[in-house]
Structure 1
Amino acid sequence: MTTGSEPAALDRLLAEVSGERMVATVATLAGDPFEGRRVGTPGGAAARAWLARQLEGIGATVTTETFPVRAVPDVYAAPIAEWNDGDIAHRLTFGRDFSVHLASVDAGDQPKRGPLGLAGADDPTGRWLLVPAAMALADAYEHAAGALGLLVGRAVDGDGWHFTMLAGPNPGRLPVLSVATELHERLVAAVGGGAASWSASSPIRRVDVTGANVHGRLRTATPRGVDLLLTAHYDGVGHHPGLRQPAAADNGSGVAVVCEAARILAAGLPSDVGLSVAFVDGEETGALGSAHHAGQLRATDDQPLVINVDGAGCLHEAAAVEAGGPAHGLLAVLDRAARHTGLPLTAGPVASDNRRYAAVGLATVGIGAGMAGYHSPADTADRVEPETMVAICRLVVATGWLAASDATKLSSLIGDRR
């Protein structure tokens, strides 16, 4: 049970949380040498090595675990697109006006030109077909025999960018480009004039790569001691040719929080409490790194309490929390920590690595607090709020400390099993 002196001890730990240190971590991870940290790239490997050094610097025993990642989308050259309304050629901007759809085949880096048409209405042969808003892509293929490619309308974010995804549909049989909604509507209107044309390339391939998780063991639990596992994914969607995507909030901010929380908890927990960190790879390709790690934990019957942070960039009214596995006790401790630190919480969803750990039966909470510029060039270090990282880090530290100090309350009253 906690005593009157223990909250004071917790407050001393919370006072050590450094926003400046976390800002520096985010700035480093979002820097050019790490190239957006896509799984299987030199930038990802450089980030992994840097993170290993940070963990070693706070006293962790560091190991890495590799795993295969199949068919990662790779835009290997800067795509080109323009359209002609019959009088004027309009050169378009990759990432803003258009992007390469995940369903696209690799048609090379040389543009293909042809008249514009409407899928389901015009002869497809030799045309770029605009897919009507009400038509599914699968249905558009039924009207696309002999077409040069398909153009699908897609909303851009508040900064005017298409967001990049690495997990999605398999490639179909044609080039497919996403076009900003307003431009798509303009092109549909231009088709009626009969003179509109489109020219574009779709240089996208799929590559098989190797991902790698970084594990740091800071403390080993006694047989009856609490074991804490702090996790965050360090990979991003990566740069495209001519398009820098730094992945500062997603998830440089989460990594920074976990680094800082681990540093503080390593020195502040009772001697019987275990503490480890997992910086996992491949989250953007389907949470493959956490799936690999969760499988290892299940195979060895390790049962840590898992706290995952994905996005600590821009807190609005409350931090999102998603609990999974036998987490009622852990969730109760998280609620106590939030009350102690003054951070409002709201129920999820946090669709991240926490779900992989929960799926193997581990008590898990996922925490998220906003990502400005999600999966785009707008996800820059200057948009990550230091005060948000401080608030989330304080929450993680308090949760870990309270869990260790009052382990009897981690067992659920409604039948959970750890």
Structure 2
Amino acid sequence: MTALDQLLAEVSGERMGATVATLAGDAFAGRRVGTLGGAAARAWLSRHLQGIGATVATETFSVRAVPEIYAVPTAEWNDGPLAFGRDFTLHLASADTGQSRRGSLGVAGADDPAGRWLLVPAAMTLSEAYLHADGALGLLVGRAVDGDGWHFTMLAGPNPGPLPLLSVATGLWERLFDAAGESFSANTPIRRIDVTGTNIHGRLRTAAPGGADLLLTAHYDGVGDYPGLRQSAAADNGSGVAVVCEAARIIAAGLPAEVGLSVALVDGEETGALGSAHHAAQLSTRNDRPLVINVDGAGCLHEAAAIEAGGPAHGILAVLDQAARHTGLPLTAGPVASDNRRYAAAGLAAIGIGAGMAGYHSPADTADRVEPATMVAICRLVVATGWLAGADATKLSSLIGDRR
């Protein structure tokens, strides 16, 4: 058995599963940036990194206008209650109205808007709908739900508009068009708050002058719980955090003396990858140029792991391909719209790895749906990539002038 194979044999799905279960627990309340749940997760992760031998520090940054649903939203059609999260959710462009508004249903552009909740036709933009909404109580737009029947929760999106705005499950929204004139009521308790995000940095090894420096990253924040809606964020991105921590633990002792290794568990990815943008700017200011491997979503592998390379990543991408061949994991080029893009935009060689997830941004993203075998496969890929990169830094010529 080679030295690499010995390291790969140490990867534990059970250990990573325990990490995911902890991060998805009630105590961490979905880990939205700036919340008590996020702070509790940060404290636990800091201790976890210290436990694998890392020197840990944190770094704060500002996050403006985070949407917060501060009470359970309610909606009724002909006095029959609709289910928040399934039948409807609050659109990010909604105005904040804590009190319920009751009126009749109508269609934007076709009915008198005064005192009505207006259904916005699919071909009509919100800007156009506002032109037909003088005196309206609010707007209803159709939106598809996922395979589990949940609306996706998003934190990054448009600014609030002038009216209450609900997203309604497509099937229900279509039925409401046949209910013009019937009674509808709803409230939209959503506000924007400024919060502080906090990145967690763990240094396990310091690179010698001229030695390669590896940076493993994953975001630890989720979209967070809402009143009446538990969103544990197990796969997104508890699974990525578990993989990165496990990979760092395993390869820390197996790298050549001159190779550095650190972990960044970043905050605020769900609000626009703000934590990684903050960290990437710091690295650029210090002229640090680590090789970045980011994992976002290691919960449900189908046929192949998605890989996105950015920045001067030709060398590390070649090593990643060699690692995939060694571990037997199929790879495919695909979008990994995560923190890797922030590091790449700062001119760093960055690889994003994604392996799917069940229940994206919804209450269905639970720990029991994260596949241990998927985490093992992705962790083995990260371990092999890091070990091969450190064992033969000559493969990483992309650090010297390769700007493809």
With structure 2 as the length reference, what TM-score do the two structures score? 0.99
1:367 aligns with 2:363: no
1:16 aligns with 2:10: yes
| Alignment partner of 1:239 out of 225, 232, 238 | 225
| Alignment partner of 1:79 out of 73, 82, 99 | 73
Aligned to 1:106: 96
Conserved 8 A contact 1:150-1:174: yes
Conserved 8 A contact 1:411-1:417: no
3-state SS of paired residue (2:133): coil
Q: Return the letter of the residue paired with 2:85.
A: G
Within a 5 Å distance, the mapping from 1:249-398 to structure 2 comes to: 249-398=235-384
Return the alpha-carbon distance in structure 2 between the equivalents of residues 165 and 304 of structure 1. Answer: 31
Q: Return the letter of the residue paired with 2:205.
A: R
How many matched pairs? Answer: 404
Deviation of the 1:107 alpha carbon = 0.7
Return the alpha-carbon distance in structure 2 between the equivalents of residues 413 and 146 of structure 1. Answer: 60
Identity of aligned residues (%): 82
Within a 5 Å distance, the mapping from 1:43-82 to structure 2 comes to: 43-82=37-76
Aligned to 1:150: 139
Conserved 8 A contact 2:311-2:403: no
Aligned to 1:161: 150
**Deviation beyond 4 Å, 4+ runs, structure 1:** none
Aligned to 1:4: none
Return the alpha-carbon distance in structure 2 between the equivalents of residues 190 and 124 of structure 1. Answer: 15
Deviation of the 1:224 alpha carbon = 1.2
Deviation of the 1:268 alpha carbon = 1.0
- Structure 1: runs of 5 or more not aligned: 1-6
Return the alpha-carbon distance in structure 1 between the equivalents of residues 126 and 49 of structure 2. Answer: 46
Return the alpha-carbon distance in structure 1 between the equivalents of residues 93 and 128 of structure 2. Answer: 13
Return the alpha-carbon distance in structure 2 between the equivalents of residues 268 and 407 of structure 1. Answer: 15
Conserved 8 A contact 2:305-2:330: yes
Q: Give the RMSD, CA atoms, in angstroms.
A: 1.2
3-state SS of paired residue (2:293): strand
Q: Return the letter of the residue paired with 2:165.
A: V
Q: Return the letter of the residue paired with 1:69.
A: V
Deviation of the 1:417 alpha carbon = 5.6
- Structure 2: runs of 5 or more not aligned: none
Aligned to 1:230: 216
1:219 aligns with 2:205: yes
Return the alpha-carbon distance in structure 1 between the equivalents of residues 46 and 189 of structure 2. Answer: 34
Aligned to 1:3: none
Deviation of the 1:270 alpha carbon = 0.9
Deviation of the 1:197 alpha carbon = 1.6
Deviation of the 1:121 alpha carbon = 0.5
Return the alpha-carbon distance in structure 2 between the equivalents of residues 138 and 55 of structure 1. Answer: 48
Conserved 8 A contact 2:312-2:399: no
Return the alpha-carbon distance in structure 2 between the equivalents of residues 175 and 187 of structure 1. Answer: 17
Deviation of the 1:90 alpha carbon = 2.0
Q: Return the letter of the residue paired with 1:22.
A: M
Deviation of the 1:91 alpha carbon = 1.0
3-state SS of paired residue (2:261): strand
Return the alpha-carbon distance in structure 2 between the equivalents of residues 371 and 129 of structure 1. Answer: 35
Q: Return the letter of the residue paired with 1:346.
A: T
3-state SS of paired residue (2:253): helix
Q: Return the letter of the residue paired with 1:143.
A: H
1:205 aligns with 2:191: yes
Return the alpha-carbon distance in structure 2 between the equivalents of residues 371 and 198 of structure 1. Answer: 35
